[in-house]
Amino acid sequence: MKKKKLMFLILMILLVELFGFSYFFLFQKQSFLSPLSSEKSFLKIAESKKQVIGFLPFWTIKEEENFRYDTLDQIIYMGIEFDKEGQIVKRIDSYLEPGWSNFQSDRFSALIKKAKKKNTKIILGVQNYTNETIEEIIQNPIKRKRVISQTISLLDEKGLDGVNIDFEYNGTDFPILANAFTGFVEEFDSALEKKDPQLLLSVDVFADSIRRNRIYEIDELSVFVDQIIIMGYDFHRAGSVSAGPVAPLRSNSPYSILSVLNDYFEASEREKLILAVPYYGYEWPTLNENFGSPVFEGGGALATYKRTIALIEDENLKTNWDQTSMTPWLVYKDHGKTKQIYFENERSLSLKYSLVKQADLGGIAIWALGYDGERKELWDLLEKSF
C-alpha cells in the first residue's frame, strides 16, 4: 500500500512538472512579456500580418535616406492643412506653408518613387488643429466637399494611395460636432470609393476619445474607415505639472494604453485599430530626482529618441525602468539643475509591439519617422517584431 501511495505521489509530481513546462512553453512563450498575461481581454494571439505605418511630418523629410522602405507598409505624409473656407493653406503671409512646399518638393517626389519600388503606400495626411476651423469645415456641406475634392486632386497629381484625416479637436464634447465629423468622414469614404476602391482611408484619434466623449464616434467611424489610428502617447506632455511616462502601458491613474484599448475593443473590430507609438519623450527641469517629480512651469520640451540616446551615451547616464508603466526614464544634472527625461527605447517599444500582436490589433504607427536619425536599432526591432 505504501509503495502504491509513493508511486502515485511521484506520478502526480511528474504530471505537475509536465503541465507547468507545457504551460510555459505553449502560453508564456507567446504571451505578452509582462504580467499582462492576466489581462484576459488581450489574450488573442494572432498570426496575421500587422501593418507598420510611419508618420512623416514635413520637418523630418530630410531624414528619408535613413528609412527602410521595405519595412514600412505605409508612409503618412503630414501634411496638407485647410483653412476655414475649406481651401488648402499654401501661404502664410509672404511665405510658403511648409507642409505644402515640402509636398511639392523634388525630395518628396523622390521619396514616392523609392516607396513604390518597395510596395510601400504613400498616404496624404489632411490636418487641422484649430477648433474654430474644424467646426467651420465639418459643419458646412460646401466646405466639406471642397476639402474632399481638393484632396482627391492631390492624390491624382502625385499618384498617392489614400488619405489620413488628422483633425485634432480639443474641447468639450458637442453631439452636433460629433455627428458632423462622422458625416465628413462618411462623405470622404464615399468619394474615395467612387474614385478607386483600393484607396485607403484612416483617421487619427486621441487615446482617451471614448472615455472623454470627444467628437470621434469610434463605433460609427469604424464603419467608414480602413484604420483607426490611436495616438498612444502624450499621456504626459511638455506642459504637464509633473514629469511622467509619455506612453505608459499601465498606470496608477485611470488612463494608460491598456485601459483605453479595452474601451476601443468594444467599439471597433480589432484589425482596424492601429496603435501609434512615440519615437520621442519629454524633458523637464524637475524639483527633485524622484520619479514623477513636480516640474518647473514652462520648462518642458520634446526629446527625440536620437537626442536622448546620444545624451545617455555622451554623459554615460543610467537608464531607469518604471515597472508600472513599463517605460524608461533618466535623471541628470544640467548646469547644476535637475532634469528628467521620460522616453521610449527598444525594451519599452518591444513590449508595445508584443501587445499589438497579443491583442490582435491591425498594427502599429510611428510618430515620427526620422526621430531616430541615423540609428539602426529601432529599425532592427521593427523587422524582428513584425
Percentage of the chain surpassing pLDDT 70? 87
What is the distance between the alpha carbons of residues 254 and 285, in angstroms, rounded to a whole number?
26
SS3 label, residue 238: coil
Q: Residue 35 — very low, low, confident or very high, per pLDDT cuts 50/70/90?
A: very low
Confidence at residue 29, expressed as pLDDT on a 0 to 100 scale: 35
Distance from the Cα of residue 120 to its chain's centroid: 18
Interval 155-206: pLDDT, tens: 999 999 999 999 999 987 678 999 999 999 999 999 999 999 999 999 999 9
Which class would CATH give 40-278+345-385?
Answer: alpha beta
Q: What is the model's pTM?
A: 0.89
Confidence at residue 179, expressed as pLDDT on a 0 to 100 scale: 96
Instruction: Say yes or no to pLDDT of 39 above 70.
Output: no
Instruction: Say yes or no to pLDDT of 28 above 80.
Output: no
Confidence at residue 24, expressed as pLDDT on a 0 to 100 scale: 30
Confidence at residue 173, expressed as pLDDT on a 0 to 100 scale: 67
Instruction: Say yes or no to pLDDT of 222 above 70.
Output: yes
Confidence at residue 48, expressed as pLDDT on a 0 to 100 scale: 78
Range from 75-84, 204-213, 298-307 carrying the lowest mean pLDDT: 204-213
What is the distance between the alpha carbons of residues 153 and 233, in angstroms, rounded to a whole number?
32
> For the chain, what is the total number of helices (H) and then of strands (E)?
11, 15
Torsion angle defined by CA atoms of residues 330, 332, 338 and 343, in that order, rounded to the nearest 10 degrees: -30
Contact 265, 361 (CB under 8 A): no
Q: What does the domain layout of the chain look like in residue ranges?
A: 40-278+345-385
- Helical ranges in the chain per DSSP H: 2-23, 98-103, 106-117, 131-138, 141-158, 175-195, 218-224, 257-265, 305-315, 346-358, 377-385
Q: Residue 145 — very low, low, confident or very high, per pLDDT cuts 50/70/90?
A: very high
Give me the residue label for grid cell 521619396.
111
Ramachandran class of 95: left when φ > 0, alpha when ψ lies in -120 to 50, beta otherwise: beta
What is the distance between the alpha carbons of residues 99 and 97, in angstroms, rounded to a whole number?
6
Interval 309-366: pLDDT, tens: 999 999 999 999 999 999 999 999 999 999 999 999 999 999 999 999 999 999 999 9
Whole-angstrom CA distances from 182 to 41, 228, 330 are 28, 13, 42
Instruction: Say yes or no to pLDDT of 74 above 70.
Output: yes
- Helical ranges in 266-345 per DSSP H: 305-315
Confidence at residue 18, expressed as pLDDT on a 0 to 100 scale: 42
90 φ/ψ angles, rounded to the nearest 5 degrees: -105, -25
Cell of 338: 535637475
Interval 110-126: pLDDT, tens: 999 999 999 999 999 99
14 φ/ψ angles, rounded to the nearest 5 degrees: -65, -40
Structure-model confidence comparison of residues 305 and 12, the more confident one: 305
Instruction: Say yes or no to pLDDT of 233 above 50.
Output: yes
Contact 134, 169 (CB under 8 A): yes
Handedness of CA 282, 73, 220, 194 (dihedral sign): positive
Confidence at residue 31, expressed as pLDDT on a 0 to 100 scale: 38
Confidence at residue 198, expressed as pLDDT on a 0 to 100 scale: 98
- The DSSP bridge partners found for residue 71 are none
**Across residues 48-53, what is the average pLDDT?**
94
